[in-house]
Amino acid sequence: MDEQLINKLADYVYQAEKEKREIVKITAEMYPELSIDEAYLVQEELIRRKQNDGLTIVGPKMGITSEAKMKQMNVDNPIYGYVFDDMVVAEGDTISLSDYIHPKIEPEIGFVLKRDLEGPNVTALDVLRSTEYVFPAIEIIDSRYENFNFTLPDVVADNTSASGAVFGTALKTPDQLELDVVGVTLSINGEVKSLGAGAAVLSHPANSIASLANMLAKKGEKVKAGQPILSGGITAAVRLSEGDFVNVKCGGLGDVSFFVK
């Protein structure tokens, strides 16, 4: 895959994101043979473009880490992308539906590390020992592809549909709870739309952060201390509508919410 094609595909997804416009997935016609490794090259180029435009990375995110997500999206392997500063929504804030294409939300558990984690061979126990605190979070995903229809390489190239993140401010240290048996509900206007437990994410959300460290190690990178990290949707994602009040509650971890106008 030459540089010209990488640039072309990065432009393709970035333009769609900027213009809040749906596009046909890359593998449909433009480049059906796109591999996962090539898709990460496109993602890296997309990230460089965003940084050249003055945006900064807030933290990494894992995706497709639960069976619910694998089934919903018809893809079957954990992937990662990045949340940028312009995507962060303050807890209790109101977003405007018109700033998105077809947004969906996911309940997630977030981590902040107290020391860098460098793979390979990072385990969940390493993650827990290196965690400063955990917090409830909501990810807003907004695939640039028509109808959220994509293959794994497509969604990697599109920065794993990253579009928004609401980080809860209730901080707990991991020894205060057992993250696998933390119950999670996602409610809209007081009605529970989906529910699950931390164990939905690779048996324990800490496994997701370990996977991230081990995947990044292949590129000589590490998971950095101090950044909020999303471990992946616990349940299937739920479509947002105007007038929604979204609340995610995690047992023992508190809750996080925002409004949609």
Tokens 């370990």 correspond to 210
Mark 114-143 with x for binding to Mg ion (rule: CB under 5 A) and - for no binding: -------------------------x----
User: Closest distance between ligand OOG and the C-beta of residue 36, in Å?
Assistant: 14
Q: Is 97 exposed, middle or buried (0-12, 13-18, 19+ CB in 10 A)?
A: middle
Q: Which residues pair with 240 in a beta bridge?
A: none
| Options 117, 141, 166, 200; binder of ligand OOG; rule CB under 6 A | 141
Q: Is 244 in the site for Mg ion (CB under 5 A)?
A: no
**Count of beta carbons in the 10 Å neighbourhood of residue 86:** 13
User: Closest distance between ligand OOG and the C-beta of residue 10, in Å?
Assistant: 18
Q: Which tokens go with 122?
A: 């990072």
Could you tell me which stretch among 41-49, 100-108, 178-186, 192-200 binds Mg ion (CB under 5 A)? 100-108
Contact 68, 205 (CB under 8 A): no
Q: Is 233 in the site for ligand OOG (CB under 6 A)?
A: yes
| Options 17, 38, 45, 106; binder of ligand OOG; rule CB under 6 A | 106
* Residue 155 contact partner, candidates Mg ion, ligand OOG, none, CB within 5 to 8 A by sort of partner: ligand OOG
**Count of beta carbons in the 10 Å neighbourhood of residue 191:** 6
Contact 234, 184 (CB under 8 A): yes
**Count of beta carbons in the 10 Å neighbourhood of residue 231:** 31
Length of the chain: 261
| Options 233, 240, 247, 250; binder of Mg ion; rule CB under 5 A | 233
Could you tell me which stretch among 189-197, 213-221, 232-240, 243-251 binds ligand OOG (CB under 6 A)? 232-240
Q: Which tokens go with 246?
A: 């979204």
Residues of span 151-180 touching ligand OOG by CB under 6 A: 155, 160-161
**Count of beta carbons in the 10 Å neighbourhood of residue 183:** 14
Contact 202, 252 (CB under 8 A): no
Q: Is 232 in the site for ligand OOG (CB under 6 A)?
A: yes
* Residue 73 contact partner, candidates ligand OOG, Mg ion, none, CB within 5 to 8 A by sort of partner: ligand OOG
Closer to ligand OOG by CB, 118 or 195: give it: 195
Look at residue 38 and give its three-state secondary structure: helix
Binding region for ligand OOG (CB under 6 A): 63-65, 69, 73, 106, 139, 141, 143, 148, 155, 160-161, 232-233, 237
